[in-house]
Structure 1
Amino acid sequence: MTTNTDKTRIAAIYNPQNQTKTQLIESFVVRQKLFHKLFKAIKEAKMEVPEQHYLIQGRRGMGKTTLLLRLAYEIENDPALNSWLIPVIFNEEEYGIRRLFKLWERIMELLEQRNPEFNFEQAERLKLSKQFEDDNTYERALFEHLSAELKRTGKKIILFIDNFGEMARKLSDEEAHRLRKILQTSPDIRIIAASAVVLESFYRYDHPFYEFFRVEELKGLDKKETRDLLLNLSEHYKKETVAHIVKQFPGRVEALRRITGGVIRTIVLLFEIFADDDDGSAFKDLEFLLDRVTPLYKHRMDDLSDQQQAIVEAIALNWDALSVKEIAEQTRLESKIISAQLQNLEKNGIVLKVYTKTKNHYYIIAERFFNIWFLMRNGRRNDEKRVRWLVQFLEEWCDEKFIENPPEKYEISSTPSNTAQEPQLLTIRANQLPENKTQALSFLTNTEFLDKEPEHISTYLILILAKGEKQWLFDLFNSPEGESIQLKDRLKPIYYAVLKSMDHPDYLRMGEELVQTIDEILARAAQMAVDYA
């Protein structure tokens, strides 16, 4: 069994800031495609002319810092590059860089720390000099000295700047224009930056950095990447129980990947949980995981203003996206206040705008696992059930045995024997909905059968969808009987699959944790339509 000391050690070592160069390179098993793409762009460029600059976007914990460090280390290890190209690695947070001249000062500090051949004594004299009337003149003098030192040594630099969005926000428009001009004209400096927030201002035509950076987006890990990461950690830390879980209980792992959005930092926490408890379930794992992220998410909520907390609470408790009008009804705040606060929340990556075909757009919690945490730790008693039902559905759906023996291949005899429901199953399977739809409704909303054999209910609902009975299914989910047993929450992915098949506008309210599952449900329904035509 893994001890608490082991857990702390694993988490601390995997943090890129705490890893040695060798440890980081050895543990770098995901983001390989983007790594090779960016390094190819670096290696092929001779920097005889100004080069393309890159911005890596991705939510917190997606591996941006690790990727930047991995690129920097590869440059240091490459004899064709390290003789003339110097990677300048900034800290993950650089609170002191609030002006452009501070950027040049910091670059000089980092260069001098690692490369004694640079002489920035004159820069120190400039810093203390009283000859400069303003900061702009001082900034230009610093940059000229930096450029002169690069030319004297025959070196060029590539800046790896994390949290670039925060740094860019602090620059004035004049400084941003100045930096853009330098990067456009200087062949000696290149930037590969990362940002945890979507820099919408960069997409405005009037912004200095409009269409300036080539943007690479980091999305959550897919199934294979998650498996590779967990197995790599298992091998590195000699945790055979984790490898056993990954190989023998794929549904448990995949359900949690979808729920958490494939965030690398969360997958590492999941590794620690697997190492300590190999006899669990996806929901039990989830509860342990939530305990680990509570300090982070609580801090995130505490940083919000009272009005922002009220808005986030309304959206999070609903789980699915809400309109401004719906948020106003729940918070009793004025719509104009909500709209203003939503802009700030969106800018800081807390909420995401979901565009509709009308002017009334929806808003949803951007990090879906944060939403899960809020429901489980701050929600009503029923909210835990809603989460549990989804996790259990995903664990069953994602199990490889379930995939190898897809439900459309099941024989009716595989359903519970001697049940009163079997005639209804036969009727639906063999032909079409029973003529007496009231009888079918009674079967499909039988809570005892639904609790014991949810996969069979799911199978036949998908089969009904395959037979083109979209409206009947929609009515079933929204019927008094369906509402009374929370059928929408119990079988949430199937409900949204029905909405998507109908092109219903409420489909847009769905969180991204459901997207892949819904596509799989619709693909299965399409295949069943062929099989049982």
Structure 2
Amino acid sequence: MMKSPTIFSFTPSLMNPADLESIFVQREAIAADLVDRIRESVLTPTKHHSLIIGARGMGKTHLVSLVYHRVQAMADLKERILIAWLREEEWGITSFLKLLLRILRAIDPLDPAIQQRIEALYELSPAEAEQSAMSLLTEIIGDRTLLLITENLDDLFKGLGDRGQQQLRAFLQNSGCCTILATAPRLFNGVQSRNKPLYGFFRPVRLQELTAAEAVQLLIRIASLREQTELVDFLKTPMGKARVQAVEHLAGGNPRIYVIFAEFLSRESLEELVQPFMALLDALTPYYQSRMQYLSSQQREIVEFLCDRKYPATVKDIAQRCFITSQTTSSQLKELKEKGYVNVESIGRESFYALKEPLMRICLGMKKERDGTLKFMVDFLRAWYSKDELDMLHQRISDGFVHKHLELALQESNINEKDPRVAICLDLIKSCYDLGLLDDELQYIQKLTTIRGTGEDWVKQASCQLRLEQLKEALISCDNALAIEIGNCNAWYLRGCCLGMLNRYKEEATSYIQAIFYQPDFYNAYYNLGIALVSLGHYEEAISSYDMAIRFKPDFPQAWNNRGTAFARLDHYEDALTCIEKAIKIDPNYVDALGSQAEILLGMNRWNEGSEAIKNVLNLFQKTNKSYSGDAYLILNGLLSQDSSQWQSRITDLINWFDPFPTAVTNGLVSACKKLISPLISDTTATLWHDTWHELTHQLPEYQLPLRLLTTALHYKQKPDDPRVWMELSIEERKILQQALGIDSVAPRD
């Protein structure tokens, strides 16, 4: 039976300590540091006072509860510490006396002797009661340390006033027996103003919002705690990741909202999602309404304006619509940002303000709905489902309440460009692209994915990351695009490009096949698929893929060239030359094709003709300061089958010709090892090939690795069943040779 422990979103202090630990993320270092500071306060004369800063819902009470239980569980502190944990809202504390009374009651509310002595205090005058309460507290503490835990310290200080704060300071300094762990939604004058009594007493500890990865970790831990194995698996799927992104949008990094939404993530059916979600919003509305009570009238007006507005607004827009000056608006927005109500985002020279939690706008907007159209439901659907999913659901659900809101959500998805930030981002992205400022371009694309986050936006990001060779990041961007739109052929294509650069050729080929599935005339995908298949040694399939690229783009010189080199790798040199000649006819200045033509001529033993051609091509590459694009494999593959009496002179020619580009020959030499171990080449011929290369290149530094690989390939040919031959190479070198030979492992051959 599924375990269902209660997770209290608003009062985590009621939770089981083990459950608190099991869903704790991000803040382990903070928790450990707080415990260490409390421990030092108990065991030494040094007393620390810590203030945890975080907006409402950021997990302050969860952290405090966890620290409380850890300290309470320390056996060596049991006889040396007293803990007084005040209630989260202590509205009745309006003087130092009342603070003392609350502390006394919190120390041991079940001890009748203490409670009787507390009751006796009410028979005294306030001044007498205060002195007696202080004496009683000091007596109860004795030689122990009091850990005072108080939440919402800002409200407590407001109730105490300056006089009460002065008395608290005097008590802390004179008694030397108290350490405080407190929380507040933000820093306030009572602790940061130099003219306040307790200035400098507290070390602030700021809580950060959860990142997307930390949110996933939290949700997985909640699911694991509830033994929801299917949900744990679901969170790792593209749809699960998309759901987490939706919650991230709605929650604004607020851990409390992630906890609340954990129940909804795996609900696949829209019908089973809508009603529970509406009930949740109804339950959350009082929470957000209560948060409005903490704001001034001008701040409420600004928040209300941002609730009604779909997109972030500039200071000028807010000031104009609220009929207040820009200076006042800026001041109020600064306070709202410090309190955790709004976010500010700079794009170019503009700053845009928006509610930190879009869910707040949705909940507060519920009270305004009068026309039967629930705008909050439209907002939720747009956040929760991709455009493709909305379209599919709209077609499946043909009428009724849900259909109406799906239709509105689809309409709004199509006009998302109304957000003024989108146009600014697009202009800046284009400018950076034109100027070649890749890092800046990526920065603005990342803003665009945060603002709008369509599949195409993620594709833009993947493309820029690919150009920056941020391959793993580009793969994640491709996956994000596909989570939104599985049929995005450009995302599949770029994914293939990333995998190819990571030498993951099988996955690369699969990605191109998917791109072609969704766009059958995608000639670049066919072309790149051919390249991947060549890397896998599947030359005939590669030729078929190049055929399809040419079918959809007949004047595609690169496809003709690669088709030719694939034929050459099958020793079909005449077919290869025909393809290369077509590539050159399309583009007479295509140096890669000219190089392929020269290599094939040399591989065909047309040495005089080929030697002039290759020297001309290499000169062209030198003049343009470009690296040679070939690898001399076609030359060496052919040379291996030619008269061995000519090897020494011809290998010497190759070494001299390619002196500016030695890697072309070294790479070709390694690639040719596959033919070397084939039955077509005798052991005697293979040994002579090996010895010739060693004689001519053993003193050249750049040839040392290829020579080691060549030696191991020869030994493998001679003793295929002896695994000791591989011990001559390092693990990385084995992988290189293994790939060149086209074998899956270094185990003996069949």
Q: Normalized against structure 1, the TM-score is what?
A: 0.64
Alignment check: 8 A CA contact 2:153 2:183 kept? yes
Establish whether residue 57 from structure 1 lines up as the match of residue 57 from structure 2: no
Equivalent residue, structure 1, for 2:209: 220
Equivalent residue, structure 2, for 1:494: 445
Distance 1:45 1:268 in 2: 33
Establish whether residue 528 from structure 1 lines up as the match of residue 520 from structure 2: no
| Letter in structure 2 aligned against 1:157 | L
Distance 1:66 1:52 in 2: 20
Equivalent residue, structure 2, for 1:168: 157
Would the alpha carbon gap of residues 357 and 27 (structure 1) be closer, same or farther in structure 2, given more than 3 Å must change? closer
Report % sequence identity.
23
Would the alpha carbon gap of residues 296 and 112 (structure 1) be closer, same or farther in structure 2, given more than 3 Å must change? closer
Distance 1:304 1:460 in 2: 37
Equivalent residue, structure 1, for 2:195: 206
Runs of at least 5 residues in structure 2 that lack an aligned partner in the other structure:
390-413, 418-424, 471-496, 498-625, 627-750
Distance 2:318 2:41 in 1: 51
Q: Secondary structure of the equivalent of 2:14?
A: coil
Would the alpha carbon gap of residues 459 and 175 (structure 1) be closer, same or farther in structure 2, given more than 3 Å must change? closer
Would the alpha carbon gap of residues 318 and 13 (structure 1) be closer, same or farther in structure 2, given more than 3 Å must change? closer
Which structure has more relative contact order (CA 8 Å, sep 6+)? It is 1
Equivalent residue, structure 2, for 1:180: 169
Alignment check: 8 A CA contact 1:56 1:217 kept? yes
- Determine which of 222, 229, 233 is the counterpart of 1:233: 222
Q: Secondary structure of the equivalent of 2:71?
A: helix
Establish whether residue 144 from structure 1 lines up as the match of residue 127 from structure 2: no
Equivalent residue, structure 1, for 2:96: 100
Structure 1 residue 53, shift from structure 2 partner: 0.3
Would the alpha carbon gap of residues 293 and 381 (structure 1) be closer, same or farther in structure 2, given more than 3 Å must change? closer
Q: Secondary structure of the equivalent of 2:92?
A: coil
Summarize deviations over 1:466-515 as a string: whole Å, max 9, x none.
453789x99xxxxxxxxxxxxxxxxx9738469xxxxxxxxxxx99x99x
Equivalent residue, structure 2, for 1:410: none
Distance 2:336 2:302 in 1: 9
Structure 1 residue 348, shift from structure 2 partner: 5.8
Equivalent residue, structure 2, for 1:128: 123
Q: Secondary structure of the equivalent of 2:360?
A: helix
Q: Secondary structure of the equivalent of 1:220?
A: coil
Establish whether residue 245 from structure 1 lines up as the match of residue 240 from structure 2: no
Structure 1 residue 181, shift from structure 2 partner: 3.1
Structure 1 residue 14, shift from structure 2 partner: 8.2
Distance 2:335 2:68 in 1: 33
| Letter in structure 2 aligned against 1:206 | N
Structure 1 residue 100, shift from structure 2 partner: 1.4
Structure 1 residue 215, shift from structure 2 partner: 0.8
Distance 2:254 2:281 in 1: 14
Equivalent residue, structure 2, for 1:313: 304
Distance 1:228 1:244 in 2: 12
**Count of residues in correspondence between the two structures:** 427
| Letter in structure 1 aligned against 2:314 | L
Q: Secondary structure of the equivalent of 2:93?
A: coil
Equivalent residue, structure 1, for 2:14: 18
Distance 2:341 2:165 in 1: 26
Equivalent residue, structure 2, for 1:156: 145
Equivalent residue, structure 2, for 1:468: 435
Alignment check: 8 A CA contact 2:243 2:384 kept? no
Distance 1:205 1:520 in 2: 51
Q: Normalized against structure 2, the TM-score is what?
A: 0.47
Structure 1 residue 66, shift from structure 2 partner: 1.7
Structure 1 residue 220, shift from structure 2 partner: 1.9
Greater shift, 375-384 or 262-271, is seen at 375-384
Alignment check: 8 A CA contact 1:58 1:196 kept? yes
Structure 1 residue 17, shift from structure 2 partner: 4.0
Structure 1 residue 363, shift from structure 2 partner: 5.7
Larger radius of gyration: 2
CA RMSD of aligned residues (A): 5.1
Would the alpha carbon gap of residues 61 and 46 (structure 1) be closer, same or farther in structure 2, given more than 3 Å must change? same
Q: Secondary structure of the equivalent of 1:258?
A: helix
Would the alpha carbon gap of residues 238 and 164 (structure 1) be closer, same or farther in structure 2, given more than 3 Å must change? same
- Determine which of 340, 355, 361 is the counterpart of 1:365: 355
Would the alpha carbon gap of residues 301 and 520 (structure 1) be closer, same or farther in structure 2, given more than 3 Å must change? farther
Distance 2:219 2:148 in 1: 31
Distance 1:309 1:99 in 2: 30
Equivalent residue, structure 2, for 1:75: 71
Equivalent residue, structure 2, for 1:43: 39
| Letter in structure 1 aligned against 2:312 | D
| Letter in structure 2 aligned against 1:274 | L
Q: Secondary structure of the equivalent of 1:55?
A: strand
Summarize deviations over 1:184-239 as a string: whole Å, max 9, x none.
44331110011124425532222223232111111222334322322222222232
